[in-house]
Structure 1
C-alpha cells in the first residue's frame, strides 16, 4: 500500500467538522503527509434560486470572511499552515476536483452524514467528490 503525501480535508463549518479534522490529522501524521484544509462557500445566488434582483455581493463577502476566520481557527488548532487553508466559492465537488489536480493531492477526506452501507455516500457532497476525482477518497462517518 502506498503512503499518502498530500491530503485535502474538505469540511463544512458545522460543529461536526472537528470529527473529520481529527481523523484527517491522525492519518496525515501517520503517513507523514502534508495536510490541506478547504471549505467551499456556495455562491449566494444559488442558494436563493439566482433570480433575486438584488446585489448579494456584500452577503457573499460576509460569508467568505466568516469562513476564512473559522478555517483559520481550525488550521491553528490542527496544525495546518495558513498557505494550506483554502476558502473558495463554487460547487463543493467541482472545487475539490480542481484542488486535487492543482495541488497533486492523493487523498481527499470528507465527512458524511449517510445512512447505512453504500448509501452512506449516495446523494451527498461526499458522493460528488468520490465520483470524478482522480485520487482516493475517505468518507468519515459523522456521529
Structure 2
C-alpha cells in the first residue's frame, strides 16, 4: 500500500493534542507526506444562540488569537510553515472536510476521546469528521494527560 502525501491534522489544542500530533508526524515521516494543522473554533453565537445580550466579538477575537499562538507553537516543533496552519471559525467537522478537500489531503488525523453513553449521543467531532470525509480518517485514541 502506498503512503500518504498530504495529511491534515485536526487539533483541539488540549493537553492531549500532542498525542495526535505525534502520531500524525510519525505517519508523515514514514510516508514522506506534508502536514497541515487545523483548529476549528465554534462561534460563541453557536454555543449561546443569542441568549446572552452582549457583544461577544472581542471574546471571540481573543480565542482566535490564543488558538493561533498555540497552533504556531505546535507547528514550529515540526517545521510546518504558516501557510499550512489554519485557525478557522465554524463547525468543526464541516470545516475540516472543507480544508482537507481544498488542500487535496489524502488523510485526516484527529483525536478521539472514546466517549460513551450520553456524551456519544450528544455528538462527537471525530464521528462527524469520519462520516463525510472524502479521504481516509485516522482517529487517534487519546489518553487523559494525567495518566
Would you say same fold, with TM above 0.5?
A: yes
Alpha-carbon contact 1:22-1:78 (below 8 Å) kept: no
Task: Provide TM-score, normalisation by structure 1.
Answer: 0.92
Where structure 2 has 5 or more consecutive residues not aligned to the other structure, the ranges are none
1:15 aligned partner: 15
The runs of at least 4 consecutive aligned structure 1 residues that moved more than 6 Å come to none
Alpha-carbon contact 1:40-1:90 (below 8 Å) kept: yes
Tell me if 1:88 matches 2:85.
no
Aligned length: 139
| 1:88-115 CA distance string (max 9 Å, x none) | 0000000001111111010000000115
Equivalent-residue separation in structure 1 for 2:91 and 2:107 (angstroms): 19
Tell me if 1:38 matches 2:35.
no
Alpha-carbon contact 1:39-1:86 (below 8 Å) kept: yes
RMSD of aligned C-alpha atoms? Answer: 1.5
Equivalent-residue separation in structure 1 for 2:94 and 2:50 (angstroms): 19
Map of 1:19-98 to 2, 5 A cutoff?
19-98=19-98
Equivalent-residue separation in structure 2 for 1:54 and 1:100 (angstroms): 34
> What SS does structure 2 have at the residue aligned with 1:51?
coil
Equivalent-residue separation in structure 2 for 1:39 and 1:127 (angstroms): 16
| 1:58-84 CA distance string (max 9 Å, x none) | 000000000000000000012211111
Where structure 1 has 5 or more consecutive residues not aligned to the other structure, the ranges are none
Task: Provide TM-score, normalisation by structure 2.
Answer: 0.89
Shift of 1:2: 2.5
Alpha-carbon contact 1:21-1:78 (below 8 Å) kept: no
1:137 aligned partner: 137
